[in-house]
Each structure stands twice: as C-alpha cells, then as structure tokens.
A and B are shown apart, each in its own frame.
Chain A
C-alpha cells in the first residue's frame, strides 16, 4: 500500500515555507486531494457537531466502519464505491433508527448492526479476491480523480445546506427533546434525518480519507469545539476550522513523511482535545478557588 511520500521523488523538506508550498502543490493529485479533503472536513465538522451533541459517537463510528462493507461490496458488485457506501450506510442508519427508537439501549443495537456489517465486509473482501483491506481503511488520497472532487464538493454542499435549513429544529430536539416536542418539532423525523445525514457524510468521506479518518474527523473537531464554545454557531464554525486545519497539516506532513495522513490527524486531534480539556478544567478550578476559603 503506497502512501504519498513513498511513491514520489519529491524535493526534501526545506525550512522555506514558500518553496515548500510550491512543492506541495506541484502535482495535480495533491491539489485534488486538498480540495476533496477540505470538502470532507467541512461536512464532517458540521454533522459532527450534532453527533457530539446527541451522543452519537458510537453510531458515527459504526457507520464509518460499515463503509468497509460498502466499499468491498461495491468491488464485488462491480459498481462505484460511492454507490456501495450509500446503500450500506443508508441501510445501516435506517436499521439503527428502526431498532433503537429511544436512546436507551441504542448502543447495543448499534454494536450488533456494526458487527453484522463487518462480517459482510469480510465476506465481500474474500469474494472480491482483492485481498487488501488497508486501502479501504486508510483511504486512497493519491487516486482522487477530478470527477470525485466534483462529487464530494457537490455532496458536501447539499449536506451542509440541509443542515443549515434544519438547523434550529435539529438543535432544539438535540438539546431538549421534550421541549422540542411540546413546540411541535417532529423529533423522531429529526433524529432519523440526522442519522441519514451521518450516513451520507460517511459514505462521501470514506473513499477520500478512509474509514478510520472519517470517524476521527466526525468526532474530534466537534468534541474540541464544543468544549471551547457553548454557543452553537460558534462551535460549528470552530469545528469546521479545526477539521480543515488538521487535514491540511496531515496531508502536508504525509507528503514528506512516509505515513498515512490519518496518523498525524488523529495524533493532532487528540492532543488539541486534551489541551482544551486541561484548559477547561484549569479554568473551572480557578473559578471555584476563591469560594473555597469562604466555605472552609
């Protein structure tokens, strides 16, 4: 499985940023990779905000892993990976929505649907005789065509517009389901809509960045952003910005270092999250400190 650095005879990394940037964007595939990955990070940042808000991390993880069955299944059926991903992720989201009507006990259903699809993925992997599981898991940033860039950008635009249109009811039903219901928000429809948007996001993202990074881009930027700001529009903006930043740096570093971008993105995302948590804890401790002597 070739990664970026291994396949190129690129100029060594210099400490001159202008030279490095010129070097980075010399190749068409790098420009395509940046365009497609940016669109992916934006849509993952938006949908990820609701994933974190509603405690859907496990569902996000499962739907992105289901992409494994989608991509290998598409190989067996001889169709475009995106078709296989949309079918499997869509079916998975509907099944989770149908079997787990209430949040309680949902994680069991998610886990079972996940394992069922992973088993199928293994079957498809065997049937397709391609043998290689790794490209599906880590994505293939080198092989992104101009058509794929267009598809990802169009799909990302549609998903972002849908979230923007349904933003208020989605937010209200995520924050307080009972109040939302009392105000006439169709909470069940919103919950299903979110699962379907999540499925569409993972389906679009998986061919670009792979199964593992899809999940990381869904959860990590949004989790950090929600820690930093309690105001939804700010948090969504921050979540997008962090995701785009991670993937830009990750792609850039993997141009020179022979490792998939996922490695750098996950390490960075975790470090920033821990930093944000530490800062939050410290701030809470400082805010609480003055009251302690009075209480004693």
Chain B
C-alpha cells in the first residue's frame, strides 16, 4: 500500500482516504456494520448479553472455519452456526438468567470445535488470521454487498420488534402480563444479533467483534436516559470509532482492528470518567432493567 501523509487540510485528507477502492469498500462496509452493531449493542447492554455475544463471536469462528473445511463459503458457515446458536440460546434464555456457567460450557465446546476445524484445515493460514482479526482492507465489492444486504434485513427486523423488545428488556414481567410474546421477541433479537456478529466479524474479526457490539451501547447508556437518543448515540459512537480507526490505519502502519477496538475502549473509559465527575451518573438508573426482570 502506498502510504500517504496526513495533513491539516481535512479536504485533502478526505480525498486521500477515498482515492483507493479498498478504502471506499472498507469505509462503506465498516460503516454499515457499525450502524447495525451500534443499534444492536444497546440491547446487548440492556439485556445483559455481553457474555452471550462474546460466545456468539467464537461460535462464528467455529462456523466459518468448519465451512471452509467442508468447502462452503466462510460467511455461510459464520451466519449458519451463529443463527443456530442464537435459536438455541433463545430457547434456553429463561433458564440462563444469571447462570453464566451454561454459556461458559457452550463456549468451551465452541472453542474446541473451532480449533478442531482449524486443525483439519491444516493449521495456520492467512484466512485464519483474517477470520480472527478481520480483513477490512481486503473486502471485495461482493463482500460489501453481502454485509449491506444482511445489515438491511437485520435493521428492518430490529425496527419491527423495537417497541416490544424495549418493553420486554426494561420490565419483562410487566411486558408478559401485557401480552408481549416475550420469548419470541427474545429469539428474534438473538437472530438479529447473529447477523450483527457476522457483519462485525467480517470487518474487525471474530476475536474483536465484541468491541463494536458492547462498548458503543455501554458508552451511550452513560450519557442519556431516552431510548431514541441512546440508540442514535450508540450508532454514532460505533460509526465514529470505525471510521476514525480506518483512517488511522491508512496513515499508521498498525492494523485497523487495533485502532477500532482501542478507540471504543478509550471512549467508554473517557465517558465513564467524565460522567463519574459530573452529576450525570445519577440520571442513569432510568434506563436499566427493572429489578424484578433480573430474576
């Protein structure tokens, strides 16, 4: 790659950034994945699904490497196995509340499976590296289209279940009493999460995908108590760190995934420091699940 130099002229920088095909693809796919992950991430945080999300990213890794072994496209395996696991988690979710050891055991199995497929695939390769750490600068136009179509479907589904999902996440018992199909909504959300995990894995890799799925939602939760603002803020944070990370990767010889994960972590820590200092933190409890719903 030809390294260009960053200048203080923002217009020049922008032209530099978009002059390469691979960079336009990366900005586009990264942006789409970031929007989806930012929106989904709010509910990951609200529903306490961080560990489940992390497990889904490892499931994705096993799925992708398994698909390569039997000669399918990695994306098919990635999406297929995460969706399957999402349905299984949805069926178990009622009993999973507060029992993170069950998710832990699923993770144990998944890690072993991933390693098994990796070994069958004859060890370490560039594909494995790409799967673990992302290959955002090597996306083809077809990859971009796949990410875009998947994200559009997932966002439409999220919009369709938004109100019942928010209700069920904030107070499950009340929602159930009012006739919200709580379990169907939970499973539908987990399926959307599976698509988001797939998109994030394409962009920043299986090991780092959680960065886009947890940190933006958690950051936004500290700043606002209104659902719509929370969602928009989370999307903005995800988009901001992804694009900044990509731009930094063009000018610095370090991987984009490193910048994206570091930026999302640093943003969260900075916001925590600020909100802990200001009195903002006392506003937070409004956007938390009702104690009864925690079970």
- Place the interface of chain B in its size category: 35 or more
A-B contact pairs, 14 of them (CB 8 A): A58-B103, A61-B107, A65-B207, A119-B259, A122-B255, A123-B255, A133-B132, A137-B115, A216-B108, A262-B115, A263-B112, A266-B111, A266-B113, A270-B105
Complex Cα distance, B259 from A120, in Å, reads 9
Q: Which of B7-15, B180-188, B211-219, B228-236 participates in binding chain A?
A: B211-219
Known contacts being A215-B107, A269-B108, is A112 close to B100, with CB within 8 Å? no
Complex Cα distance, B133 from A259, in Å, reads 23
**Interface class of chain A by DSSP:** helix
Residue from A52, A110, A116, A118 having most chain B Cβ neighbours under 10 A: A118
Say if the beta carbon of B116 comes within 8 Å of chain A: yes
Say if the beta carbon of B172 comes within 8 Å of chain A: no
Contact B108 A119 (CB under 8 A): no
Complex Cα distance, B208 from A61, in Å, reads 14
How far does the Cβ of A217 sit from chain B's closest Cβ, in whole Å?
9
Among residues of A, the one whose C-beta sits closest to the C-beta of B120 is: A259
Residues of chain B having any CB pair with chain A under 8 Å: 45, 48, 50-51, 53-54, 98-101, 103-105, 107-109, 111-113, 115-116, 118-119, 123-124, 128-129, 132-133, 207-208, 210-211, 214-215, 218, 254-255, 257-262, 264-266, 268, 272, 294
Number of interface residues of A (CB under 8 A): 51
Among residues of B, the one whose C-beta sits closest to the C-beta of A263 is: B116
Binary contact readout A254-294 vs B (1 if CB under 8 angstroms, 0 otherwise): 00001110110111011001000000000000000000000
B contact residues around A123 at 8 Å (CB): 254-255, 258
Q: Contact check: which of B50, B123, B132, B207 meets A110 at CB < 8 Å?
A: B50
Among residues of A, the one whose C-beta sits closest to the C-beta of B48 is: A107
How far does the Cβ of B190 sit from chain A's closest Cβ, in whole Å?
16
Known contacts being A58-B51, A212-B111, is A52 close to B101, with CB within 8 Å? yes
B contact residues around A116 at 8 Å (CB): 211, 261-262, 265-266
Residue from A3, A111, A133, A259 having most chain B Cβ neighbours under 10 A: A111
Contact B108 A215 (CB under 8 A): yes
Chain A, 85-124, CB within 8 A of any chain B CB: 99, 104, 107-108, 110-116, 118-120, 122-123
Contact A122 B112 (CB under 8 A): no
Q: Contact check: which of A68, A111, A262 meets B50 at CB < 8 Å?
A: A111
Apart from A134-B123, A219-B107, list 19 A-B contacts with CB within 8 A: A55-B100, A57-B101, A57-B107, A61-B51, A107-B100, A110-B50, A112-B215, A116-B262, A119-B258, A119-B259, A119-B260, A119-B261, A119-B265, A122-B133, A122-B208, A123-B254, A219-B104, A266-B113, A270-B105
Residues of chain A having any CB pair with chain B under 8 Å: 1, 3, 52, 55-58, 60-61, 65, 68, 99, 104, 107-108, 110-116, 118-120, 122-123, 126, 132-134, 137-138, 212, 215-216, 219-220, 223, 226, 258-260, 262-263, 265-267, 269-270, 273
Known contacts being A111-B53, A270-B109, is A118 close to B100, with CB within 8 Å? no
Contact A120 B262 (CB under 8 A): yes
Q: Contact check: which of B103, B116, B272 meets A57 at CB < 8 Å?
A: B103
Residue from A65, A107, A120 having most chain B Cβ neighbours under 10 A: A107
Known contacts being A111-B53, A219-B105, is A263 close to B257, with CB within 8 Å? no
Known contacts being A119-B211, A223-B101, A266-B112, is A112 close to B51, with CB within 8 Å? no
B contact residues around A115 at 8 Å (CB): 208, 210-211, 214-215, 261, 264-265
Complex Cα distance, B272 from A55, in Å, reads 24
Contact A273 B124 (CB under 8 A): no
Contact A118 B98 (CB under 8 A): no
Among residues of B, the one whose C-beta sits closest to the C-beta of A135 is: B124
A contact residues around B109 at 8 Å (CB): 266-267, 270
Complex Cα distance, B79 from A51, in Å, reads 31
Contact B265 A107 (CB under 8 A): no
How far does the Cβ of B129 sit from chain A's closest Cβ, in whole Å?
7
Among residues of B, the one whose C-beta sits closest to the C-beta of A132 is: B124
Contact B207 A112 (CB under 8 A): no
A contact residues around B218 at 8 Å (CB): 108, 111-112
